[in-house]
Amino acid sequence: MTRATCPICRKAEVDPGYRPFCSKRCADIDLGRWFTGRYAVPGPPAGEMAKATARMGPDAGQADRPRL
């Protein structure tokens, strides 16, 4: 089994409190990368998603929601 390394600084010792990172500093660096858009989850461009939703109408996706 290989030892886990911090994905930010590659330090071999990972702190269980900040897993998979070695410290709060590395965890904060990772979070900052998500906030600035450096990391992204693949998917259709936002404009295409808005157009598809508009074509489906204002009640699109409402059938699965329970009525209150």
CATH number at residue 24: 3.30.50.10
Q: Is 9 a domain residue?
A: yes
pLDDT tens digits, 36-65 = 989 888 887 777 667 766 666 666 556 556
CA distance 58 to 68: 18
pLDDT of residue 68: 63
pTM of the model: 0.57
**Average pLDDT over every residue of 4-17:** 92
Do the domain assignments include residue 21? yes
Provide the residue range defining the domain that includes 21.
1-56
Whole-number pLDDT of residue 38: 92
Domain count, the chain: 1
> What pLDDT does residue 66 have?
62
Given pLDDT bands bounded at 50, 70 and 90, which one contains residue 27?
Answer: very high
